[in-house]
Amino acid sequence: MKINRVDVYNKCSGHCAYCGKNITIKEMQVDHVKPLYRNDKDETLVVWGVERGTDDMDNLNPSCVRCNKWKSTFSLEMFREVVQNSINRLERDTPNFRLAKDYGLLNVTENKVIFYFEKHFNDE
């Protein structure tokens, strides 16, 4: 099935479905909400605990390059966890982050990660 990039782009009105960043159709990458695992020759429906996706429109989201790279083959909940744990990784691994935090240059909040499409387009 051929993917209609314009239809995917319009799903979130020109925004990344995950972070909400404005993207052009040229910048957009088409993300499979449930990944395809194209290089996996096994035709099973579940790979690594994640249901195999399809090219159906309800499984496609517009994504910026950064979100598509980070989401990779994760399920939505796995990706949400990766984003949610970003602050902990920065705190642990990045001295500049800790310095900026200690000097009050950053306000770290404990917000639950809610993807852009969940806030704006979930009841379609």
Task: Tell me how far CA of residue 106 lies from CA of 85, 91, 95, in angstroms.
Answer: 17, 12, 13
Q: Residue 104 class from Cβ within 10 Å (0-12 exposed, 13-18 middle, 19+ buried)? A: exposed
The pTM of the whole model exceeds 0.95:
no
Convert the pLDDT of each residue in 71-103 to its tens digit: 998 889 999 999 999 999 999 999 999 999 999
Decide the pairing of beta strands 50-51 and 60-63: unpaired
Per-residue pLDDT reduced to its tens digit, 8-17: 999 999 999 9
Rg (CA), the chain: 17
Q: Determine the CATH number of domain 5-109+116-120.
A: 1.10.30
Q: Which residues contact 101 (CB under 8 A, 6 or more apart)?
A: 91, 108
